[in-house]
Structure 1
């Protein structure tokens, strides 16, 4: 099962070619950080025919992907259209890039004696 995986903003998108596969025969599950896609491709049985060429494969398939850290496992979703399974894998809020604000301490001027000054940090 050929697939592409890319990141678009705050989600990863996995596209897997599955032409001719009934989406009802595909199972997707997550166990820990392991995403598993499994299913079965069945071909129609034609009785009383003599095959000249039969190149389309049938049988079960399995593909596993280690998701690593920083994934929102509860919001993974999948769609199937035009023979392509698309799995959307969101990045968790904690793993998203964010700006860290820098605070500064105010410096105070203290008068020690007339005409002398010291900076306190």
Structure 2
């Protein structure tokens, strides 16, 4: 089988020249992720297909969440590649955490190529009721603090 697609090769070369991200054609350029707020926590999901679960690492240090993972390349010398487009190497992503995060309770799981990280809000950052004293008695109102 012979692979000849000049338009695909030209497109890949143009992307490589115009793309300002780091990495070569064979090393990872990004780790796609989603981040949303659900009730009293944030939920981060990152796609890491084909990554060995033992290579996935989630660290929190000084207000920075770092996710890293590694996918190894095939080491078969006798292989004749017809198409070789899958990235290999180390993926790394960092996020700054605000003061309203309870970093001691961050939890992570990896299943079916998807890393899920639960980032809970600190108690001080959650909505709470504040008592207001006035001459005729007490009344409570709900206040919300802004996430940092």
Aligned length: 107
User: Which deviates the most, 8-17 or 97-106?
Assistant: 97-106
User: Which deviates the most, 43-52 or 58-67?
Assistant: 43-52
Alignment of structure 1 residues 1-121 onto 2, 5 Å: 1-106=31-136
Structure 2: state its 5+ residue gaps. Answer: 1-30, 138-148
* Structure with the higher fraction of residues in strand conformation: 1
What is the root-mean-square deviation of aligned Cα atoms in Å? Answer: 1.4
Could you say which structure has the larger radius of gyration?
1
Tell me the distance in 1 between the aligned counterparts of 2:83 and 2:136.
82
Tell me the distance in 1 between the aligned counterparts of 2:33 and 2:136.
55
In structure 1, the residue corresponding to 2:131 is in which secondary structure? Answer: coil
Structure 1: state its 5+ residue gaps. Answer: 108-121
Q: CA deviation at 1:47?
A: 2.7
Tell me the distance in 1 between the aligned counterparts of 2:90 and 2:48.
12
Query: TM-score if structure 1 supplies the norm length?
Result: 0.83
